[in-house]
Amino acid sequence: MKIENKIAEAVISGIKTLYGQEVPAQTVQLQKTKKEFTGHLTLVVFPFLKISHKKPEETAQEIGNYLKAEIPHVVSGFNAVKGFLNLVISPESWTELLTDMHQDEHFGLTAATEASPLVMIEYSSPNTNKPLHLGHVRNNLLGNALARIMSANGNKVVKTNIVNDRGIHICKSMLAWLKYGNGATPETTGIKGDHLVGDYYVAFDKHYKEEVKELTDKGMSEEEAKNEAPLIKEAREMLVKWEQGDPEVRALWRKMNEWVYKGFDETYKALGVSFDKIYYESDTYLEGKEKVMEGLEKGLFYRKEDGSVWADLTAEGLDEKLLLRADGTSVYMTQDIGTAKLRFRDYPIDKMIYVVGNEQNYHFQVLSILLDKLGFEWGKSLVHFSYGMVELPNGKMKSREGTVVDADDLIAEMIAGAKKMSEDKINKLTDLSEEEANEIARIVGLGALKYFILKVDARKNMLFNPAESIDFNGNTGPFIQYTYARIRSILRKAAEAGLDIPDTLPADTEVSEKEIGLIQMLADFPAVVRQAGSDYNPSCIANYCYDLVKEYNQFYHDFSILHEEDEKKKLFRLVLSANVAKIVRTGMGLLGIEVPERM
């Protein structure tokens, strides 16, 4: 049983004995003792003053005396400061707690059961006219981490992706390929499929701008020129043909999309990201139109004179929202309604989480209301996991101008940077093959990227600095990974020296305050996982891992482990080290970050 639970039980029985009254468990408030006071856990006494009819300090003193007499094996001392009772927990309790953690391989994690709620998490949502970029990287890493965290909190999780594979932007890439591609394929060019298609999206924009300039030079207004440019007219014609199911346009669309999907899959694999179910806008938009028409018949929506369909949300304090254009074509909202319909048909969803940037806050506010009106049980409670933009030292990114930070380039740059930064350290491991050194560089480079992005509160905009992220000092992924590798090295040396790490530690082991502080930090891990799940906040796990390794490194600096002469202390410190490594591996794993056995 946890130390807090033992104390809480004893406090409840103490209040009954001392003051003759039962108190509910929630009135027993225990917190970590502040550093300036002696003790490990502090009981807040104020809730019991109405029962004791005594001063705060006197009440605290009486409860402290009772606890020390009743559970001396848990509470070895105390001090009362006004209405706060600071409890000193006995060394044997900490040793027992460490043993319990040591014996639980999945400490801090809750397994899902048949009765667990099903949480669906949508992330990535790429367009098939361009490769994934830095913004997508943040989205994918947040979605993947959130899925792991929700699963660690005992939920069944379905990871899903909606691919935007239709619309004018897709036609722009297709048209540019037909005009300027000369039949180029990923195979003939050696260019990754999503990059090849993205190049034609950039080419379209370049030629389109030239046409617009030509027309404005002839005296046309810019707005008119943008509408009258031959390229945009052709792209619109192609979109109409696509909507009508034109065989040639559809065949080209399928061919170019396949190139893109193959490219996406490579990037997802490199990022360590996957999905259980992928939906495509080309399938869902018709379902959305159908659902909107159903809403129109029921009087939930209305039609304007031009034939467009709208939802009036003024009663909800919002405005009117377009659902179908006058020509019958759908908007993003329609597609999201259709996707929701298909998902609800495919899975018994209890909670739906959309991982989408904060520029879409209003969109999801509206979607929630519309889904609720249309009868989706989870519509009202859908969660928009809204995150800030990733910015670079030189400003924002624009994909149509080809100035984005490409995800593949970024991954390659991070791995190369890790290799360069860690050469000194890796070179010390003389028995490493080139393959092993490359694998360490991959783990460290990606760990640096993922940690730098995930340690920041998702709601905030962030500045991504590759050089800063790959530093081996400070609040970085490599610093945490290096500490893990250091502990694994200690444990290997212990095994080589014939030291068997025990399953159970002797109760009479002498424990220092520094070691107690580490055990207490390890014991916090389940609460951190719960908080990350309830707040949808991966950053609290990232920063917990950093605080833990920082504390461990101080311990490692101050205490001998393998050279400790007292056998009991040596084994205790090895068990403590092993559990720090276990929690670091688990915590970083929840963020989708690997930890190397050697560095």
**What does the DSSP assignment read for 353-422?**
EEEEEGGGHHHHHHHHHHHHHTT-TTSTT-EEEEEPPEEBTTB---TTTT-S-BHHHHHHHHHHHHHHHH
pLDDT of residue 515: 97
* Burial status of residue 22 (CB atoms within 10 A of its CB: 0-12, 13-18, 19 or more): exposed
Highest-scoring range by mean pLDDT, 414-428, 466-480, 548-562? 548-562
pLDDT of residue 471: 85
Neighbours of 218 (CB within 10 A): 8
Cα-based distances in Å from 270 to 263, 264, 266, 274, 442: 11, 10, 6, 10, 9
pLDDT over 50 (residue 399) = no
Q: What is the CATH number of domain 407-590?
A: 1.10.730.10
> What's the gap between Cα 359 and its chain centre?
19
pLDDT of residue 378: 83
Neighbours of 322 (CB within 10 A): 15
Grade residue 1 by pLDDT with cuts at 50, 70 and 90.
low
Can you give the residue ranges of every domain in the chain?
3-89, 166-273, 407-590
pLDDT of residue 420: 86
pLDDT of residue 464: 86
Check residues 529 and 465 and name the one with the higher pLDDT.
529
Residue 345 · residue 300 · CB < 8 Å: no
* Burial status of residue 396 (CB atoms within 10 A of its CB: 0-12, 13-18, 19 or more): exposed
Average pLDDT over residues 291-308: 95
Instruction: Write b or e for each residue in 253-288: b if 16 or more Cβ atoms lie within 10 A of its Cβ, otherwise e.
Output: beebbebbbebbeebbeebebebeeebbbbbbbebb
Give residue for tokens 């709208």: 310
Residue 229 · residue 221 · CB < 8 Å: no
Within 56-130, residue ranges assigned H as helices are: 56-70, 91-103
Q: Helix 134-152 crosses helix 407-427 at what angle (to 10 degrees)?
A: 70
Residue 452 · residue 566 · CB < 8 Å: no
Grade residue 425 by pLDDT with cuts at 50, 70 and 90.
low
Average pLDDT over residues 553-563: 96
CATH fold match for the domains 3-89 and 407-590: no
Check residues 428 and 150 and name the one with the higher pLDDT.
150
Rounded CA-CA distance 258/256 in Å is: 5
pLDDT of residue 517: 95
Residue 449: closest CA among 412, 482, 424, 404: 412
pLDDT of residue 398: 47
With residues binned 3-state (H G I as helix, E B as strand, rest as coil), the percentages for the chain, rounded to 5, are 55, 10, 30
Residue 561 · residue 576 · CB < 8 Å: no
pLDDT of residue 424: 63
Look over the chain and give the mean of its residue pLDDT values, rounded to a whole number.
Answer: 93
pLDDT over 90 (residue 427) = no
pLDDT of residue 599: 87
Q: What is the CATH number of domain 3-89?
A: 3.30.1360.70
Within 400-476, residue ranges assigned H as helices are: 407-427, 434-454, 466-469
pLDDT of residue 430: 67
Rounded CA-CA distance 256/252 in Å is: 6
pLDDT over 80 (residue 508) = yes
Grade residue 405 by pLDDT with cuts at 50, 70 and 90.
confident
Grade residue 348 by pLDDT with cuts at 50, 70 and 90.
very high
Average pLDDT over residues 570-577: 97
Grade residue 395 by pLDDT with cuts at 50, 70 and 90.
low
pLDDT of residue 503: 93
Average pLDDT over residues 11-23: 95
pLDDT of residue 403: 56
Rounded CA-CA distance 501/491 in Å is: 9
Grade residue 108 by pLDDT with cuts at 50, 70 and 90.
very high
Beta strands in 110-155 (DSSP E): 118-122
Q: Residue 434 has which token pair?
A: 């080139």
